[in-house]
Structure 1
Amino acid sequence: MKSWRRSLLSLLISVGLLSAAAPAAMAAPQQAALKINNRNVEFAMNAPIVDQGTTMVPLEATLQAMNAELGDVQDDAIYVVINGKEITLNSKTQLINGVKYAPVRIVGEAAGYAVHWDQQSRTVILISKATGQGARGFLWEVKNNGNTAYLVGSMHFADDSFYPLRSEYEEAFAEADYLGVEIDVSRAADEANQKMIMDLGTYQDGTTLKDHVSEDTYAKVGEILRQNGIEPNAFDVFKPWVVELTMTSLKSMDAGYEAAAGVDLYFIQKAMERKLPIIELESYASQLSMFNGFSKELQEKNLNAVLDHFDVLDESVNQMAEIWKTGNDEQLLELTNSFSEDEEYNKAMLIDRNIVMADKVDGYLKNGKNEQYFIVVGAAHYLGEHGIIKLLEDKGYTVVRK
């Protein structure tokens, strides 16, 4: 496995730290659009809005576009008639400019739609679950003494073609008492996390990138930035690992993949709307410290791997997306094994982190509270000799591929 593809893998299905766009939760309410089965929904006056990470839609107008009818509305419940059947939505409405609004995900899913968000067009997309075959992805189940953990392998960058997910994902999530993630990427724009990124990812001693990499590496960074209409010294303040991840994420977005459509953020948004507790298996501090702890040589090696193959990165992103959508265990394992080509990289990125994650899952399964956990971490963490699946099996658990 080429090292430049390994760098892509680390961003797309192992770490989503710097790929997360500033979440809508940090902004004032903004207008959004709504599309149902590729048909734009026109609103006469009151458009959908994004407020604190939740997309709210005018309830009656949206139901009308779904051929559904609004029944009674109480403090914590909305009664809707869909195909002649009354369904109860456990959600509060919000009165905006005299119009009842409700979370679009709760309304859409109750009506039989998969719901996801297109960041580029600021559009909520509802797709009837009867119109397409859901992506297979990576999903396992582990049970112990009344507790269940559903283990989901995420791809942190995705696009519309990933959705709707298979019904097994939605059914497992609906039963969950907790959502577990590597880190809560919806908090990427929090002031403390942004400060941590700047403190660890930039030079604090007056030096710049030019002082820490070879002349050739620095020239390649400048040339790629220039070709993309950016000043060649725009990244001077950043360390090589930040430049590597930033350039990779920008190339991924050029290929049409966004963190806003990532599998982990998809479930984080659903958890926020359900008021479901979100638990982190890692932390911003641990992930940032891992990258910052890479040796100077490894940081420049990884950066050069991306720079030397910058023009073909989008092709490999597409290949990785297909691996996820088809749920190809063999190809995922091949990619995961590519980490072993560099001992320092493999130990930091996978081996050490997998041990911590597996121990936490073990703790969830042993707490004796008859709880269900829906765990979403990068797909690269699960397979292989040092993967979470093997570590759990070594602890005596039976892990079932779903």
Structure 2
Amino acid sequence: MGMKRIAASFLSLLLAVTLFAPAASAAAKPVALQVDGERVGFDGHAPVIDRGMTLVPMEELFEALNFKFEQDAKSKLVKGTKNGLTIELENGRNAAVVNGQSVQLSSAPKQIEGVTYLPVRSFGDAAGYEVFWDEASRTVILKSKEVAASGRGFLWEVENAGNKVYLLGSMHLADASFYPLHPSIEQAFEEADYLGVEVDIAKAADPETQELVMKLGAYQDGTTLKDHISETTYAKLGNILAENGLPKDALDAFKPWVVETTLSTLQASKTGYEGQTGIDLYFLTKAMERKLPIIELESYESQLGMFNGFSPKLQEDNLLAVLNNFDQVDDSVTAMADMWKTGNDAALLELVQEMGKNEEFNKAMLVDRNIAMTDKIEGYLKGQKSSVYLIVVGAAHMAGDIGIVNLLEEKGFTVTRK
């Protein structure tokens, strides 16, 4: 599989998260908790997801994090101590006191069937852990911040007229090995007044988004996929669906770009990479907990419209490339993840140059979008409010002559690699 095909899959898989978010959220597996590589056991009361937040039984969480646990039944006050760190909590109060300082929690401690539950992400942050979610195993993973950071990534800084923009080139898909992120990335988020993303994928399951997917991605004229692709391509698709326990015509209602995205999602999941563990969703979740304003640089309409606007030939070529390589465990996918984790600028540039070999694909996927996003970022840099922005978009949007970094430099800004 060539680098161009990999690049297309990883960029488009942001849309795959959009298309199939409801299936992910409906997964039947129980939620698990892992701390520094060790799975935590629960006696009768497991973690739960409530309004998008993962809640964990309080006593088991304190024990798993090696905190000495004290509880005053009369005052409803709970105190945990560990290595000079003291955290105090009170039922019904959505703030903790950490070494005398008040720290906001994403929700108050909550009673469920007589057991007190805590929001694991905000408590883990307060206790000195990185917290993230592995969708494949439905596991909340906590890693001590003392563990060496795995994800250097691609981070740049731009300042102008009292405003600062951090540019983070993202991986839309990731796994547990990406975390903790490099301290410079976390610091950029802590400074930020706004989080900017391509689209807010937390809205993926909204009825309006799903309706748009069906409107653009499914045939509306009575034809089916079989009428729009070659017999050879259709036969290959049917064989792969059958091998995966699905009817050969399971995706007949959808256009080639939707089918490609579906198969790319299945293919990537075999390697362990998930959108739910991606860099974008990691920061979207943290921004929601901080109540940080979220800015969308694009829209679902523009992204879905871009894929829908690909020529029939390009749609079939992309689909056929996935079909031809579907059963291969491609080392290049891991190589791309390693590229991100080590912040390998040369490898990123090579990937972007490979994508540029198809003029139609390159113009739609990168050139036009990069120009539009750069114009919005320029607006932030020239704003009147002296604000800090963390902009998180796919890493391939950053590199090369057509990348956002170079486009900003051409506008006269100084962009510094972090």
Query: Aligned-pair distance for 1:342?
Result: 1.2
Query: Aligned-pair distance for 1:25?
Result: 11
Contact 1:47 1:58 in 2 (8 A): yes
Name the residue aligned to 2:244: 228
Structure 1, residues 297-349: CA drift from partner, whole Å, max 9, x if none? 11111111222222335432212111111111101111111122111111100
Matched, 1:39 2:56: no
Query: Aligned-pair distance for 1:149?
Result: 1.0
Greater shift in the superposed pair: 70-79 or 98-107: 70-79
The sequence identity of aligned pairs, in percent, is 55
Of 288, 296, 315, which aligns to 2:304?
A: 288
Of 69, 72, 79, which aligns to 2:97?
A: 79
Write the distance in 1 (CA, Å) between the matches of 2:36 and 2:23: 24
Name the residue aligned to 2:396: 380
**Partner of 1:349: helix, strand, or coil?**
helix
Residues 271 and 30 of structure 1: CA distance in aligned 2, closer, same or farther (over 3 Å)? farther
Name the residue aligned to 1:245: 261
Of 174, 199, 210, which aligns to 2:215?
A: 199
Greater shift in the superposed pair: 31-40 or 228-237: 31-40
Name the residue aligned to 1:49: 48
Name the residue aligned to 1:267: 283
Write the distance in 1 (CA, Å) between the matches of 2:26 and 2:272: 23
**Partner of 1:312: helix, strand, or coil?**
coil
Contact 1:179 1:373 in 2 (8 A): yes
Name the residue aligned to 1:342: 358
Residues 315 and 231 of structure 1: CA distance in aligned 2, closer, same or farther (over 3 Å)? farther
Q: What RMSD, in angstroms, separates the aligned Cα atoms of the two structures?
A: 2.2
**Partner of 2:327: helix, strand, or coil?**
helix
Structure 1, residues 190-241: CA drift from partner, whole Å, max 9, x if none? 1111111111111111111111111111111111212222211111111111
Query: Aligned-pair distance for 1:352?
Result: 0.3
What is the total number of aligned residue pairs between the two structures?
396
Residues 216 and 288 of structure 1: CA distance in aligned 2, closer, same or farther (over 3 Å)? same
Name the residue aligned to 1:93: 108
Contact 2:195 2:390 in 1 (8 A): yes
Residues 243 and 282 of structure 1: CA distance in aligned 2, closer, same or farther (over 3 Å)? same
Name the residue aligned to 1:126: 142
Structure 1, residues 353-397: CA drift from partner, whole Å, max 9, x if none? 001111111111111212111111000000111100011111111
Query: Unpaired runs of 5+ in structure 1?
Result: none
Contact 1:147 1:371 in 2 (8 A): yes
Query: Aligned-pair distance for 1:26?
Result: 6.8
Write the distance in 1 (CA, Å) between the matches of 2:264 and 2:39: 32
Contact 1:29 1:52 in 2 (8 A): no
Query: Unpaired runs of 5+ in structure 2?
Result: 68-79, 81-86
TM-score (norm 2): 0.89
Contact 1:23 1:53 in 2 (8 A): no
**Partner of 2:386: helix, strand, or coil?**
coil
**Partner of 2:110: helix, strand, or coil?**
strand
Query: Aligned-pair distance for 1:278?
Result: 1.1
Write the distance in 2 (CA, Å) between the matches of 1:377 and 1:296: 27
Q: Which amino acid aligns with 1:93?
A: A
Structure 1, residues 236-276: CA drift from partner, whole Å, max 9, x if none? 11111111111111100011111111110111111111111
Q: Which amino acid aligns with 2:225?
A: L
Name the residue aligned to 1:353: 369
Dislocated runs of 4+, deviation >4 Å = 23-31
Which of 1 and 2 has higher RCO (CA within 8 Å, sep 6+)?
A: 1
Query: Aligned-pair distance for 1:289?
Result: 0.5
